[in-house]
Amino acid sequence: MGQLDRVMANTDALATGSGLPGPSVVTTESGGRDARTGQGIPETAAEARARVTALLTSTFSDPKREALDEVVVADVLLVTSELVTNAIRHGNGLTGFGVMVVEEGLLLEVADASTERPAQTDSSAAGNFQPGGFGWPLICRLARDATITPTPDGKQITVLIPLS
């Protein structure tokens, strides 16, 4: 089974057996603050990328620790942008955001207010080009694991991106 097939097979799981630490649905308190971190939910993809960059900088700033490859950082920021932008643009708004470094890599959680699964375009059929639908396959290619968890008010997408 290829990487994309393995990731796609996990998209209906509740993270059980998928390699992810388990679903931890990002919840917000009144005022739109993340219940775990106390931070407000990012309003833009740029703000989400800034939070991820700050986390990576603080985590990997120790000179004794191996620095992250620039390509890995670019991949992490691309996945962050895709998930947050899609939540804002197609998911009826971003309702939760969480990011942490775990032993296996970077765990990113993005929740939105839509129950719709991410769109995919089948570009293999000749003459079947349509705009959009390329972000989810890209995310699945860059992430080691991806899970879509239904929530009472939409869905949460959790991805694990290797940092090495």
**What tens digit of pLDDT does each residue of 41-84 get?**
999 999 999 999 999 999 998 888 788 999 999 999 999 999 99
pLDDT in tens, 102-124: 999 999 999 999 999 987 766 66
39-44, Cβ contacts within 8 angstroms, sequence gap of 24 or more? 41/94, 41/95, 41/96, 41/97, 42/84, 42/94, 42/97, 43/94, 44/84, 44/88
40 CB-side CA count, 13 A:
6
pLDDT in tens, 6-46: 333 343 333 334 445 544 445 444 455 555 566 789 999 99
Q: What per-residue confidence (pLDDT) applies to 1?
A: 36
Ordered by where they begin, the domains of the chain are 3-161 (3.30.565.10)
Token pair listed for 9: 């097979």
Handedness of CA 139, 144, 148, 149 (dihedral sign): negative
